[in-house]
Structure 1
Amino acid sequence: MLSPEGPTLRELAVQALSSVERGYDLLAPKFDHTPYRTSDRVLDAVASALASMGPFDAGLDLCCGTGAGVDVLSRVCRESVTGVDFSAGMLAVARERVEPQGPAVSWVRADARALPFGPVFDLVVSFGAFGHFLPRELPGLFDQVRSVLRPGGRFAFPVVAPPRPGSPGYWTLLGFDAAMRVRNALWRPPFVMYYRTFRLGDVGRGLARAGFRTDLYALPEFGRRPDGSPRVRLVVAGRLP
């Protein structure tokens, strides 16, 4: 897929007709060669922004996949970094790919909706995972994140501005979500992956209800849209007492 090392169309079709967990187990060996992996440019921009807010002691990469976010946490955390994901295949690749440099790194297989940790983290990050949660699941997810953060801890993730209505990007995402809804109406098990359900306004209200104070930071590396708004923001939600 867009790369000789990426998955073939046949492999993607098999993955798309699987459950989310099984699909990512199959995709894992080639995941880093697909557009689904968060770009180094985004990772570097987030790491730079977080460095100015830290340092932090313990960090958690939520839905870590092959460990790109763990690399970010290793730059801004002093003591320990943990990656959590429910795909055994993705974790296996992460263990092989990530070479600990600095803080100790550990990997845990678990569902983000039922995290097996106490309030032991100062920073939780996540990259590109929220489309795998239905809107009704987000309040529970935010509650889980709050439960593993120490008082004053932060939950950070980048958000890309949505494409303008009528633009090619708009129709692409709309078409993808429509195709996914048809697929899930006709085929079991479902594969939850939607691009247009994670809206910044709704997310801010959900974080507030879960006990967070949210700040937005423009990532200057990506510039601004014609209306002056940032192309990419970093959401930083601080856990309230």
Structure 2
Amino acid sequence: MFAPKGPSLRELAVQAMSSTEHGYDLLAPKFDLTPFRTPDRMLDAVEETLARHGDGFGAGLDVCCGTGAAIPMLRRLCRDRVTGADFSAGMLAEAERAHGTGPAGPGRSTGGGPAVDFVRADARALPHGLGSSYDLAVSFGAFGHFLPAERPALFGSVYGALRPGGVFAFPVPAPLPMASPYYWMTAGFDAVMRVRNAVWRPSFVMYYRTFPFGGVREDLLRTGFTVETLPLAHFGHRPDGTPHWRLLLARRPWPPGRAFTRSP
């Protein structure tokens, strides 16, 4: 399950008994050697789908960027600049080391795509300096860290960071059937985490079953987004013909009466 140089069982236990933020600070140096990193297959599928259904993007924002797995994808999709935002200083340090465009990062070479910057921020309250300046926002593997009551603040924060016409894109899985062993694995994991958080402080927020499509869609619509989905055909279809994974596109609408103009 883990690479030979990945975190030990003891290191994972220490992380699990820490706060969410400090736990990721501890895990950051070895995070990319765990199964928790977004697989390249998923990143490639999202990139290809966005490239086919978009007409180019100006600035890109990776919400809860972690160690920056999605940064190269955004640099290929976006023309102007790319920002990674995360609340963990440890994860940001790894992202900056791997993908920053400063002296320590490889992106400084000419012709390597737009510049990259990183900002430490809570995704539920992104800094005002990011406001209404991005054409594309993405997020991968982070939504289990937000309780359902926190989704309106999260979506409102991303909405405020997007320009009118901007898109918030993220993959969503099909619901697991009860006959699937993964259904019971995720249900069991969430139950253990609820017990852990009931008896231990600080809490570590990580759940697999708190981001259902129906509730997410309703919260996005209440925030002001329009919502559509596209199949991620790379992952095939279920026996009933529905895709295993879809790409959700939440778009910040243009103000009424405002003519559509694409940024140069």
Under a length normalisation based on structure 2, what TM-score does the superposition of the two structures give? 0.90
Match of 2:198, SS state, is helix
1:111 to 119, 122, 130: 122
AA paired with 2:118?
A: W
How much does 1:161 deviate?
Answer: 1.6
Q: After superposition, give the CA deviation of every residue in 1:50-98 in whole Å (9 maximum; x if it has no partner).
A: 1121310000000000001212211100010000001000011111112
AA paired with 2:91?
A: M
Question: Which residue of 2 is the match for residue 181 of structure 1?
Answer: 194
1:37 and 2:37 correspond: yes
Q: After superposition, give the CA deviation of every residue in 1:113-150 in whole Å (9 maximum; x if it has no partner).
A: 11012110001000010000000000111111111110
Given that 1:122 and 1:154 are in contact with CA atoms closer than 8 Å, whether structure 2 keeps it comes out as: yes
Match of 1:29, SS state, is helix
Match of 2:70, SS state, is helix
Could you tell me which runs of 5 or more consecutive residues in structure 1 were left unpaired when the two chains were aligned.
none
Separation in 1, partners of 2:13, 2:174: 29
Question: Which residue of 1 is the match for residue 102 of structure 2?
Answer: none
Given that 1:59 and 1:80 are in contact with CA atoms closer than 8 Å, whether structure 2 keeps it comes out as: yes
Match of 2:55, SS state, is coil
Separation in 1, partners of 2:156, 2:50: 22
Question: Which residue of 1 is the match for residue 172 of structure 2?
Answer: 159
How much does 1:166 deviate?
Answer: 2.9
Percentage of matched positions with identical amino acids? 63
Separation in 1, partners of 2:172, 2:145: 15
Question: Which residue of 2 is the match for residue 76 of structure 1?
Answer: 77
AA paired with 1:209?
A: R
Separation in 1, partners of 2:33, 2:238: 28
AA paired with 1:6?
A: G
Aligned pairs (5 A) from 1:1-241: 2-52=2-52, 53-98=54-99, 99-100=106-107, 101-116=112-127, 117-240=130-253, 241=255
Given that 1:54 and 1:76 are in contact with CA atoms closer than 8 Å, whether structure 2 keeps it comes out as: no
AA paired with 2:36?
A: Y
Could you tell me which runs of 5 or more consecutive residues in structure 2 were left unpaired when the two chains were aligned.
100-105, 256-264
Separation in 1, partners of 2:132, 2:184: 41
* Superposition CA RMSD, Å: 0.9
Separation in 1, partners of 2:63, 2:245: 20
Separation in 2, partners of 1:218, 1:43: 14
Deviates more, 1:198-207 or 1:162-171: 162-171
Match of 1:191, SS state, is coil
AA paired with 2:224?
A: G
Separation in 2, partners of 1:72, 1:102: 10
Separation in 2, partners of 1:81, 1:187: 38
In terms of Rg, which structure is larger? Answer: 2
4+ runs deviating over 3 angstroms: none
AA paired with 1:66?
A: T
Match of 2:206, SS state, is coil
How much does 1:2 deviate?
Answer: 2.2
